[in-house]
A and B are shown apart, each in its own frame.
Chain A
Amino acid sequence: MEIRTRPIHLDLLRIRLPLPGWVSILHRLSGALLFLAVPLSVGLLAHSLSEAAGFWALIEHSRHPAARLLALALFWAFAFHLFAGMRHLALDAHWGAGLRAARRSGLAVIVASTAVTLAFAVWLLA
């Protein structure tokens, strides 16, 4: 009866994704987030350039905590996507593709993107 207990469906809560797996899925998630940021960024830029009133209204709204949180999230997405993408290009060239090296570079992506996001947060609040 051993065969009956074998997992047939993927139980996402029981799968322990290794660190490079997290980097991979977060690369996709940050990319999707950045896609949503495209129309938002273009809209804000167009609005800010069109007339002085729109520009100053935007400056005013940028002080709102929700706006800062959004800016922080998008900055993290950009930084993570950039660093993970550089790692991906290196792996394409078979550079650092070994298990240990890939784990270490995956950790480096997480650490570096977190560090620059924290730096941005400090700049944002200063």
Chain B
Amino acid sequence: MRRGAGAHLGTGAWLAQRATAVALALLLPLLLARVFAALPVDYDGWRALFAPVWVRVALLLTAAVLTLHAWIGLHDILMDYVKPVALRLVLYFAVIAVLAGSAAWLLVALWRLG
């Protein structure tokens, strides 16, 4: 058995992209429907919509799944179209920074609710 050749590495990403896709296809329409159904709201109603712990946990879980899905998707796109290695690495880093920053920002915003 040859190890470390890396030929199998894409299979994990391929599978993760499908698994996260199924999870997002269920979670995101539900979350969006909950928000749209509550409209129109005032400020207190808007805060109350996100206040329950299960809503915040569901949001953070969705954010985690979305982060992985977006990273794999962007990685695929950049791998296909950006040939210079240095530029590609910079863009990889930028994507990770945007996703990690967004997740942290969401965490703080939800944390301050309660």
A contact residues vs B (CB 8 Å cutoff): 28, 31-32, 34-35, 38-39, 42-43, 45-46, 48-50, 52, 55-56, 78, 82, 85-86, 88-89, 92
Contact = CB atoms under 8 A, between A and B. Distances in A.
Nearest to B103: A42
Contacts of A32: 74, 77
A99 B109 CA distance: 48
Interface residues of chain A: helix, strand, loop or mixed (majority): helix
B62 to A, nearest CB: 11
Nearest to B39: A123
B25 interface: yes
B27 to A, nearest CB: 12
14 contacts: A32-B77, A35-B95, A38-B70, A39-B98, A39-B102, A42-B106, A42-B109, A46-B108, A48-B46, A49-B113, A50-B109, A52-B43, A56-B43, A85-B21
Interface residues of B, number: 28
Contacts of B92: none
Contacts of B113: 49
Minimum-distance CB pairs A-B, first 5: A46-B109, A52-B43, A55-B43, A42-B102, A39-B102
Contacts of B43: 52, 55-56
Contact of A82 (B25, B50, B110): B25
A31 B73 contact: yes
A78 B31 CA distance: 13
Which among B47, B95, B109 has the highest number of chain A CB atoms within 10 Å? B109
Contacts of A38: 66, 70, 98-99, 102
